[in-house]
Structure 1
Amino acid sequence: MEPYRIKVVEPIPITTRDYRERRYAEAGYNQFNLTADDVTIDLLSDSGTGALSAEQQAAGMRGDETYAGARSFFRFREVAEELTGFPHIFPVHQGRAAERILFSALLKPGQLSVGNTHFDTTRANVELVGAVVRDLPCPEAADLDSDAPFKGDIDLVALEAVLAGPEDVGLVLMTITNNGGGGQPVSMANLEAVSALCRRFGVPFFLDAARFAENAWLVTQREERYRDHSPRDVAKLAFRLADGCVVSLKKDGIVHIGGMLALADTELAKQCELLLIATEGFRTYGGLSGRDLDMCAQGLMEVTHPAYLKERADATAYLAQCAREAGVDSVTPTGVHAVYLNAGRLLPHIPSHQFTGHALASELYLAGGVRCAELGSLYLGEINESGELLTPAPFELVRLAIPRRVYTRSHLEYVAETLASIAKHPERVPGYRLTEAPAVLRPFRARLDQVR
């Protein structure tokens, strides 16, 4: 059962299929263009969509809104330092701000940012400074159905070859958990090996630690050496392997807004601080209010509680099980923050150039008002200026991201029932074609039309 009870409730919209068909057409068949009133169950993102605890609300009331040197900052810094071990803590308004500041200070045009899998906004921030992304997922990640426990790992052989090669590597960035790779965890053994390689070749090593607590939980469940460790202890060990981290606290900070850049190197910290002040705010607030900082601090303490993490992992596994029983496969083993549906297997009649993953995500909305995100060729494929798919994504996936402490089991069962209704007649699901295709961050701004 959920290790909490519900104190405040919010009504959710119950709409008809006719209404959803009209609104989705008006939105250019892009779920990012829908409004909250159009959506019954919102699984588009787990970022900033969680429910605050009573203690977080209470902490917010203690927020100090002093411009410089607010008490809230020092409370936030104390918690963040204890967790990460880094001496330089900078609050920012969200994770992509931390990425922009770090990459602007550390990466040069033409340099490589190497990682297990860069997420879309991370990739964009690397490319905006003229650097180049190189993803090196481990071989196990290619098998969606295997029980390999750590498909989020980086390919260590490939990483060593890149580091030893002629290309200029600016940094190595490990995303925990690996969101773009199916929400799969990274093992401590892999992080230790990456850290050792980076030390050997003199390359900075950073964590994209938006879901650090969920990664730590899965390590305690799947990596024998750490079965007797607490999730917080594992998280601390992971942070101390790196030179710094970028964190969206809208995930494992369980807040609606907030992020963090944490660094070990003093000179790099000085460069980042100047960029922070110029673009985000003074170093002790970084674009956040005092109440936000206090709620972030409280969330960072709550998120590693084993009972909270166990229930969250159980809920995600339950949704994946219900989906499989409905006839819809997903990436295994299931992670924590999301279920990744295998749209390509369910809809073999829709070719990649008609965006198979997007087709399933669209049908989930049309059939039941469930909003979610495509992680297939619309997101990862190479597309020309005319909107034609040149190179498809390796897999056509749909991500059902579960907000923290928001939905009950019956909500998840409703999602599974909607999937079951689609799986009965998958051949009825249409494909889609692009009518507008932005060059950068395509899924957020694209417009499409149905192909019948």
Structure 2
Amino acid sequence: MEPYRIKVVEPLALTTPQQRQEALRRVSYNLFDLRADEVTIDLLSDSGTGALSAAQLAAGMAGDESYAGSRSFYRFHETVSDLTGYAHILPVHQGRAAERVLFSSLLSPGSTVLSNTHFDTTRANVELAGCTARDLPCPQAADLDSDQPFKGDIDLDALRDALETATPGSPVAAVVMTVTNNGGGGQPVSMENLRRTAELCRLHRVPLILDAARFAENAWLVTRREPGYQDRTPRQVAEEAFRLADGCVMSAKKDGIVHIGGFIGLNDTELAQKCERLLIATEGFSTYGGLAGRDLDMLAQGLTEVTEPGYLAERADIAAHLAQRIRAVGVDIVEPAGLHALYLNAGRLLPHVPPHRYPGHALACRLYLDGGIRSAELGSLYLGEEDEDGNPVKSAPYELVRLALPRRVYTRSHYDHVARTLEHIAKNADSVHGYRVVDQSPILRHFSIKLAPAD
């Protein structure tokens, strides 16, 4: 059972199929543009969508809103320093701000950043710095159905080759390890893989940076799956992971269980000073970084709650419950199931919809039409490219739909509704049609794209 009781409730938005059809037409079939009060179950993202605890709200009431040197900052700083061990901690308003500040300070145009998998904003911030973002997922990640425990790992052979063949004219500026690997199906990274990555980075004098948005969930899966870690606590595993890297960026809207906030952690004093100067110019003074004091206090409390075994066990259990229900209705997911999201294999469910007609997006739209459920496509709409006539130039390797699970928000009966909706769709999969692009942005197009049903 959930290790908490509910103290405050919010009504769900209950709409009719006709209302949902009209809403989709109005937003040109872009689920990001739906109003929240048009969505019944919102699984678009787990970022900033969790429920605060009573202790977090109480901490927020003690927030010190002094412009500089607030008590809230020092409580936050102590908590993050104890967790990560980094010498320099800079607060920011969210993860993409951390990426922008760090990459603007660390990267030079023409260099390359290697990763197990860059997520969308990470890739965008690397490219905006004039650099190349290159993914090196491990070979096991290619088999969506296997029960391999650490498909989030980086390919160590490919990493070694990339580091050894880099030249002064095209250097590797950093290695970013995303834990858990969101773009790779929410799969965890093993401590062995992280340790060997750190050794390669030290050998080639390339900084290793953690994208630590879901560090606690990665740590929990390590304690469940990796030999030698069964007797370790998630907190102990997390502390070890942070100390293997040279620094981190974190969107605390995930495993900080807050609605806004993040941080940069670094050991390099010179780099930290460059980041601090940019932070002050663009985010806010270095002791608030664009956050209110109450946000810093709630974040500090969230970082202590997120590694509690009871909290993580329940989060894993509810994800497993939904995964079992989805499998039972005949829809495949990326295996094994993780914690923060489940990834539906839309390409397999809708083989009649070609990649350039976006089967993932088609499934996401049908989930909304049939059940009021909002989700996120991670397929050829997210990763693909077409020419000006709409012909495919590049398709994604897999056509997925992410069901992101907000923290402490929905109960099992809510997720049973999701499974029942998928069951109805699976029984009528031939009726699901594809979409074509009407208008798009040249970068991060999935956020603002406009589509229409395909002819």
Q: TM-score, normalised by structure 2?
A: 0.99
Give the CA deviation at 1:384: 3.3
SS in 1 for 2:183: helix
Query: Is 1:400 paired with 2:410?
Result: no
1-side partners of 2:172 and 2:389: how far apart? Answer: 33
2-side partners of 1:228 and 1:56: how far apart? Answer: 29
Give the CA deviation at 1:312: 0.4
1:423 corresponds to which letter in structure 2?
A: A
The 5-angstrom pairing of residues 109-124 of structure 1 reads 109-124=109-124
Give the CA deviation at 1:224: 1.1
Give unmatched runs, 5+ long, in structure 2: none
Q: Aligned pairs, how many?
A: 452
2-side partners of 1:109 and 1:46: how far apart? Answer: 32
Match of 2:342?
339
Tell whether the 8 Å contact from 1:387 to 1:437 is kept in structure 2 after alignment: no
1:319 corresponds to which letter in structure 2?
A: L
1-side partners of 2:389 and 2:321: how far apart? Answer: 41
Match of 1:47?
47
Tell whether the 8 Å contact from 1:387 to 1:435 is kept in structure 2 after alignment: no
2:62 corresponds to which letter in structure 1?
A: R
Match of 1:172?
175
RMSD (CA atoms): 0.7
1-side partners of 2:434 and 2:320: how far apart? Answer: 29
1:46 corresponds to which letter in structure 2?
A: D
1:222 corresponds to which letter in structure 2?
A: R
Tell whether the 8 Å contact from 1:438 to 1:445 is kept in structure 2 after alignment: yes
| Bigger mean CA offset, 145-154 vs 320-329 | 320-329
1-side partners of 2:390 and 2:98: how far apart? Answer: 31
Give the CA deviation at 1:386: 4.7
1-side partners of 2:441 and 2:383: how far apart? Answer: 13
Query: Is 1:296 paired with 2:299?
Result: yes
The 5-angstrom pairing of residues 139-154 of structure 1 reads 139-154=139-154
Show CA shifts across 1:270-305 (max 9, x none). Answer: 000000000000000000000000000000000000
1-side partners of 2:388 and 2:307: how far apart? Answer: 45
1-side partners of 2:399 and 2:309: how far apart? Answer: 33
Match of 1:29?
29
Tell whether the 8 Å contact from 2:63 to 2:72 is kept in structure 1 after alignment: yes
2-side partners of 1:317 and 1:345: how far apart? Answer: 21
Show CA shifts across 1:310-360 (max 9, x none). Answer: 100111111111011111110000011000000011001101010011110
2-side partners of 1:407 and 1:37: how far apart? Answer: 16
The 5-angstrom pairing of residues 174-189 of structure 1 reads 174-189=177-192
1:181 corresponds to which letter in structure 2?
A: G
Match of 1:103?
103
Match of 1:19?
19
1:178 corresponds to which letter in structure 2?
A: N
1-side partners of 2:163 and 2:451: how far apart? Answer: 41
Query: Is 1:248 paired with 2:248?
Result: no
Give unmatched runs, 5+ long, in structure 1: none
1-side partners of 2:209 and 2:129: how far apart? Answer: 17
Match of 1:137?
137
Match of 2:312?
309
Q: TM-score, normalised by structure 1?
A: 0.99
2-side partners of 1:405 and 1:51: how far apart? Answer: 5
1-side partners of 2:288 and 2:389: how far apart? Answer: 43
